[in-house]
Each structure stands twice: as C-alpha cells, then as structure tokens.
Homo-oligomer: A and B are copies of this chain.
Amino acid sequence: MINKLCIIGIGLIGGSLARALRDAGQAREIIGYGRSIGNLQQAVELGVIDRAEVSLPDAVRGADMIVLAVPVGNMADILNTLGPVLPDDSVVTDVGSVKGSVITAARAALGSRFTHFVPGHPLAGTEQSGVAASLPDLFQRRRVILTPEADTDTDALMHVRAMWEAAGAEVVSLTATDHDRILAVSSHLPHMLAYCLVDMVVRHDDYRAIMENSAGSFSDATRVAASDPVMWRDICLANRDALLHALRQYHTDLGALVKAIEKGDGKWLVNTFTRAKHARDGLNKKF
C-alpha cells in the first residue's frame, strides 16, 4: 500500500497507473504534477488524481512513491528539479522507453539518493496521448521491465515491483544495456518503419490514391506513426547507438529483399517469408 503517491506527468501512462492503483485500492492519496494546467484539471475532474500541484516541491512533499511519467526528453530536467527537494523516505521510479540515458541523468541529479531510484519501463501504451486516453486496465497482463543497477536499494526495488504488480503487470528485470538493445528492435525500430512508410506516402505523387486504396496491412503497419513526434525524436536521440544498429541491420536486410525480387529469386522469397510466418504465428499465441 502506498500512502502518498506522486505522479509527475498525468498523461496516458501516468494517468493509467493512477487509475489502476486507485481501482486496486493500493494508493491512499494520489497527487499529480504536470506542466499543462488544463490536463491537470481534467485529471482531477475525471477522478484520476485526488489533487493537482503546479509546484514540483509541493507535489513531492511527504510522498513515499514518486513516479516520473514524462517523456524521455524531459527526464533530465525533472530529475534536476527533483534532486534538491527529494524527501528522505521516497522511492522514485520512471516509465521511460530508454533506460541508459535516464539512469545517467538520475545518477547526476540524485547523488547519494540514486540508490532509491528504480528505473522502469511498462511495455504498454497506444498511439494516443493525454489523461483522457488513460485506462485503468492498460497494464493488465502487460510486461513492466525494471533495470536496477548494482547499487539500487533492494527495498526500493521491491516497492516498485509491488506497485506494478498491483496495477496488473508482469514484472521482469533486465540490465539497462540489454533493455535498450532489445527495445531498439522490438519497439523503436517498428516506430521508425511506420513513420518512414507514411512519410514516403505523403511525399508520393499518388498520395491520395494510396491512402484511399489502402486496407488492413497499411493501417496496421502505420498505426504508431500517429504517436507523438517530440517524444519519438527524444527516444531516437536517447537510444541512438542501439537504434542505429537495428536500423542499419534492417536497411541491409531490406536491400537483400530488393535484390531477391530483382533476380526473381522465388525460392529465396518463399524461404524468407516462411521463416517469418512461422515466427509470427508463434507471436499470435501470445496476443
């Protein structure tokens, strides 16, 4: 049970966590802090948070759990503001899609209190943003990855794990390096491919005809191209090396596919498509 939960950033993720913990009866009081007054008011009106604060020191005062649910690009600023006012007994965690850069910023900002910072990343979300899109069951049976460091406090880690489990999630641990390398392929790369496909179509002579004559394959391949552009710019830059590695591999592989079609190599195509189909059929069992 969390006595006073402070969520920094009441968007899709922060709002959904608040709703889930309230529904589970796991948070006595939920304070929201954010930059947008309109969004905070909406969060209070929707009953997602008990109280909104527009001053970060006021928001975190007396909080036993502080969740940083802001975009990756805003983490360093928030952490630097938080450092000097962090209550002695608080556990801090975040929801950033990149872990290495957030850990570097947290070490610099929190000093000796870094031990009570538990880096985290819930594998949930939609292409929507804002508290109005938040859902109490967003984390049900979804995975949350925690990436504790060697000096992360064990009790703090347990508290954060318990919070996510109360929200319905399955919690696993990875090193930050493994997380960033794996997510570069499983999440960041698909976002890049979607943005690139829609942008190619936007600049195409047949733009309108392509959009009108598209069906499920195009719609699914591009769904996440509706995601927040600034958030994704920041993820690209924060996870640059791992993402570049994944993108270059994909670029090379796509080149091989082009070559096979140029040569009319039907055998290569069937083998490649069959290998992919078997793997994708396995994923269907998961979803």
Contact = CB atoms under 8 A, between A and B. Distances in A.
Interface of A: 123-126, 142-143, 145, 174, 178-179, 181-183, 185-187, 189-202, 204, 206-207, 209-230, 232-233, 236-237, 240, 243-244, 247-251, 253-255, 257-258, 261-262, 264, 266, 269-270, 272-277, 279-284, 286-287
Contact of A233 (B221, B262, B269): B269
Contacts of A222: 190, 276, 280, 283
Given A191-B217, A199-B253, 19 more contacts: A123-B214, A125-B215, A181-B206, A183-B213, A185-B204, A186-B211, A190-B197, A190-B218, A194-B276, A196-B253, A196-B276, A198-B279, A202-B276, A211-B283, A216-B224, A222-B276, A229-B270, A236-B269, A237-B261
A281 B221 contact: no
Contacts of A212: 143
Given A221-B221, A229-B273, A273-B229, A213 B280 contact: no
A105 to B, nearest CB: 17
A196 B254 contact: yes
Contacts of A253: 196, 199-200
Nearest to A247: B258
A16 to B, nearest CB: 14
A54 to B, nearest CB: 27
B277 A226 contact: yes
Nearest to A145: B213
A218 B145 CA distance: 17
Contacts of A240: 261, 264
Nearest to A267: B233
A182 B211 CA distance: 9
23 contacts: A182-B206, A182-B209, A185-B201, A185-B210, A187-B215, A187-B218, A190-B197, A190-B218, A195-B257, A202-B275, A202-B276, A202-B279, A211-B279, A214-B283, A218-B283, A220-B221, A229-B269, A229-B270, A232-B273, A233-B269, A237-B261, A247-B261, A251-B255
Nearest to A220: B220
Contact of A251 (B185, B189, B214, B254): B254
A218 B246 CA distance: 14
Contacts of A219: 283, 287
A84 B161 CA distance: 71
Contacts of A283: 211, 214, 218-219, 222
A55 B195 CA distance: 49
A210 to B, nearest CB: 5
A132 to B, nearest CB: 16
Given A213-B143, A250-B254, A253-B199, A229 B261 contact: no
